[in-house]
Structure 1
Amino acid sequence: MDINIRCKRSLSGTILGVFLLLTSSIVVAQSVEVKVDTAVTTHHEQRINGQEVAYTATTGNQPVWDEEGKPIASLFYTYYKRTDVDNSERRPLVISFNGGPGSASVWMHIGYTGPKKVKISDEGFPVQPYGVENNPHSILDVADIIYVNPVNTGFSRIVDKEVKKKKFFGVNADIEYLADWIDTFVSRHDRWKSPKFLIGESYGTTRVSGLADELQDSQWMFLNGVILVSPTGLGIDRDGPVGDALTLPYFTAAAWYHNALPKELQERDLSKILPEVEAYTIDTYIPALAKGGALDESKKEEVAKKVSYFSGISKKEILNRNLSISTSFFWKELLRDEKELTIGRLDSRYRGQDPENAGNRYTYDPALSSWNHAFTPAINHYLRSDLGYNTDLQYWMFGPVHPWDRDNNRTGKNLRSAMNENPYLNVMVQSGYYDGGTPYFDAKYTIWNMDRSGKLQDRIQFKGYRSGHMMYLRKEDLEAANNDIRTFIKQSIPKDGVPAKY
């Protein structure tokens, strides 16, 4: 079936970036088709994880329906299915989302888990000629994968202009319609018997945490695992002194990478330093900030000296800011005097140049600029030329999804509820130590406080990597992180006949 609806083409521009962004759109007088229900399949074979893997790649659109069965939106997806295996209906299925909200499912698709990866340097910088190449570390050897683009991302569009945008653009609205869509996809492709996993990156972790519970409660679809890549706060409160202090271990990691720490720290390996900083943050830094103006002067001096020691920022600047420095100031300040450079938000290994050395924040994120440089031409060429998806629509790397309703974000508690009710459900968190957008110690705090009883901790694991928000862009971490997913999938599927019970 191939249903097409004609609409006006929109061009969107980003303001902030991949995972927290604002967009604007302008309409141009060109009428293009939105494919509502269609698919094209191509056949491929390549070497993955040391073995030859034959698979199909299906790109297409599947509708979102209203209560009366009328298409109101069309979601674009890419589905990879291994074909050289027996009992394919029992193959694990990984359902993948990126974040934003408003980001296309492009970053993990051609950067991380898919069979092709964007051409970049070993450390994640853009190179020419643009394009994709085989990904020998893809998880396709052990699981089939679908990359889903929510409304107004990629080639996904609203097709009923009478539908209010709040139907799609909000924490809970997003989860509700996507759960319905997943249910349809699983039925269409005969995947009800498959062990199922959700993976989300950045805001996508909010999405998949809520979906775990929504799929279970509203679609009666029970999962084996949820993978949170560079997770957000999931609605877990960490405002005030806690939030101000939790960034310190990230500051240490970024400063260590740039050789900006005192000599005695620089000579130690990062893995030996971070546990010490984490302990100081919990045991001393948070209580000191909690005292505010009641903290005596001698203790204030002591804390400022230690935070300076761990962050590479001068004691004077820390005292001037009442012991708490913002991430935006850190990105501008760390290399200001020595090199007159800034460092990246989403990956602090990246360096940038500002027009002026003065100021309290940088003018752009050098990490995001590098990623857009590499990914945009690659995904546009790959989908059209290699996978045969033909359209005049613009591929929205970042789409217009604002205003986004963030009220009643209980997604961390939703995930906890799903785990309580489903003894099979396991969670893995993956974070980069140099990520300043969603710092790794924030992620640890979130999963600790998502489960304050401690009863679920044996089903939650944390993996850290020496890279940033997209840890997989560094060649060494691409292999390690995919192997961690591969192991997690295998460990989360019980042996035949093992009952789900406590």
Structure 2
Amino acid sequence: MQMLARLFCFGAAFLTAPLAAQPPAPGPTQPKEAAPPSREPNRSVTRHSGTFGGQRVAYTAIAGETFLRAEDGTPRAAIFSTTYLKEPRDPNRPITFLFNGGPGSGSVWLHMGAFGPKRVAIPSDARDDSGPPYPIEDNPDALLDVTDLVFIDPVGTGFSHALGKTESKEFWGVTKDAESVAQFIRLWLNEHGRWNSPKYLGGESYGTTRTAAVVNQLEGAYNDVALNGLILISTVLDFAAGADTPGNELSPMLNLPSMAVTALFHGKAQAASPEAFAEEARQFALGPYATALLKGQRLGREDRARIRRELARFTGLSETYLEQANLRVEPARFYKELLRDRGLTVGRLDSRYTGRDYDAAGETPDNDPSFYGIDAGYTAAINAHLRGPLGFKSDRSYVTIGNVQPWDWQLPGGRDANAYLNLTPYIGKAMRENSGLRVFVGQGYYDFATPFFAAEYALTRTGVPQERVEYKYYGSGHMMYVRDDDRTALSRDVRAFIRGR
């Protein structure tokens, strides 16, 4: 799953080595801005209407900055967000705070792809988004009929940036980032008088990691902000289990169901349906395959041959290749090997996508076709939307994917907590201490960045109340909303989750 030291949500580079990967190339150089006390946050307020979930909604859009300040009042950072408020306003209406992941990704993807009132219409069938102009359309699947929306860009993403003498790296880390987002949420609640509103918090990819860390900041103190629900889309919480490193036997087990449905999609395996094949692969991974992996070199010859045959059936790879890989196929190798006979690679974020490398001889792909197949359309759309109908003016570049290195992955708790990096306990603790907190988990079958079986593994550990965790699955990948049917289904499922409180 290549979970450490790499981008999760829409990585700008196709990375293959867990700890030696190079960070993506920096985006456009941004001016370092002093923040004199007289400077006010840059904001634009506009009014609109649209039809969402079958209801006509009038709404106000607020695109702009909120200053995070030091104790002496000095601005430390400008957090950019886009707020959509239904009119007339209701202080008891649900409010949902959303962000994407990375770390280093702006909220453009959920904003312009899934839940915002406008969306960019890129191809729904895993084809490249090609060149502009890209259609920017009304989004009937937006959630404004059931909740107000706030899309948040953490420091180093979107238009958000450090101010004055503050260094951006002061916000770049699992806990540092969560502290700043939690501070923003408290300030937003103050400004808009929404402390008693039902509250939902959610993200995609590393945004689910951020969700766990932020809920710990919001509910983990006496002056807590209680939440009604967490919305986890393409979930990554247990980084240790998913680390593709020698000796970690959980990673090949957790990746196997994703390999199986991908092989089926591309005609390299046979099964009645993706759902049935995924379940069969789960059971094999939890049973015979887990036993074989844990036995290591004590695995007998006959058992090894039996496991190898089953792996070939699930993965679509040859027994010869699986033997050479010692029954453990890293995802990056799978992307290259599965369709090598056709001269194609498959995507990491969405393995329905295929690409063609410089040659077919390599061990891993040159790049991820499921990222370069969508990125141009989203970049154009967010800039056109914010600088156009929403009226936000800035000389800064909107950072869709930023280079937020070095990222501090350390958690409080010392050696043992950081030897096994896992944020699921934050969610479990919040649920145990808040009987009204529920969790929605949305996963794409064809997602290798945050595989669905890894999400299930993390959230079925001890301490997480299972009766308040809801899973939904979609026939696409990491950004399931790029597929029209899945976007509508995701919207319907999240809408029902919010109404279900």
Deviation at 1:288, TM superposition (A): 0.5
Corresponding residue for residue 214 of structure 1: 217
Structure 1: which 4+ aligned runs deviate by more than 3 Å? 13-17, 23-36, 234-239
Aligned counterpart in structure 2 of residue 91 of structure 1, from 90, 93, 97: 93
Corresponding residue for residue 234 of structure 2: 230
Aligned counterpart in structure 1 of residue 492 of structure 2, from 480, 483, 490: 483
1:329 aligns with 2:333: yes
TM-aligned CA distance change 1:284 to 1:31, over 3 Å? closer
Distance 1:375 1:26 in 2: 15
1:131-280 alignment, distance < 5 Å? 131-161=135-165, 163-218=166-221, 219-235=223-239, 237=241, 240-261=248-269, 265-266=270-271, 268-280=272-284
8 Å contact from structure 2 (residues 122, 374) kept in 1: no
8 Å contact from structure 1 (residues 33, 393) kept in 2: no
Between Structure 1 and Structure 2, the one with more strand by share is 1
Corresponding residue for residue 114 of structure 2: 112
Deviation at 1:27, TM superposition (A): 7.6
Corresponding residue for residue 383 of structure 1: 386
Distance 1:38 1:353 in 2: 44
Corresponding residue for residue 294 of structure 1: 298
**CA-based RMSD:** 2.1
TM-aligned CA distance change 1:361 to 1:476, over 3 Å? same
1:348 aligns with 2:351: yes
- The one-letter code sitting in structure 1 at the alignment partner of 2:442 is Q
TM normalised by structure 1 equals 0.89
- The one-letter code sitting in structure 2 at the alignment partner of 1:482 is S
Corresponding residue for residue 480 of structure 2: 471
Deviation at 1:222, TM superposition (A): 0.1
SS of the counterpart of 1:108?
A: helix
CA-to-partner distance for each residue in 1:399-448, whole Å, 9 max, x for gaps?
Answer: 23110011125521111111110000000111000001111111110111
SS of the counterpart of 1:96?
A: strand
- The one-letter code sitting in structure 1 at the alignment partner of 2:104 is G
Distance 2:305 2:482 in 1: 40
Deviation at 1:249, TM superposition (A): 0.5
Corresponding residue for residue 40 of structure 1: 44
Aligned counterpart in structure 2 of residue 282 of structure 1, from 275, 283, 286: 286
Deviation at 1:166, TM superposition (A): 4.1
Distance 1:52 1:249 in 2: 41
Distance 1:251 1:36 in 2: 51
- The one-letter code sitting in structure 2 at the alignment partner of 1:420 is R
Deviation at 1:367, TM superposition (A): 0.5
1:330-479 alignment, distance < 5 Å? 330-337=334-341, 339-408=342-411, 409-449=421-461, 452-453=462-463, 456-479=465-488
Q: Percent identity?
A: 36
CA-to-partner distance for each residue in 1:326-360, whole Å, 9 max, x for gaps?
Answer: 100110011111x1111100000111010110011
Deviation at 1:464, TM superposition (A): 0.8
SS of the counterpart of 1:110?
A: helix
Distance 2:190 2:295 in 1: 56
Corresponding residue for residue 55 of structure 1: 59
Q: Any gaps of 5 or more consecutive residues in structure 1?
A: 1-12, 493-502
CA-to-partner distance for each residue in 1:269-302, whole Å, 9 max, x for gaps?
Answer: 1222221111111011111011111101111111
8 Å contact from structure 2 (residues 357, 366) kept in 1: yes
Distance 2:30 2:353 in 1: 39
1:15 aligns with 2:13: yes
TM normalised by structure 2 equals 0.89
8 Å contact from structure 2 (residues 125, 483) kept in 1: yes
8 Å contact from structure 1 (residues 215, 222) kept in 2: yes
TM-aligned CA distance change 1:30 to 1:281, over 3 Å? closer
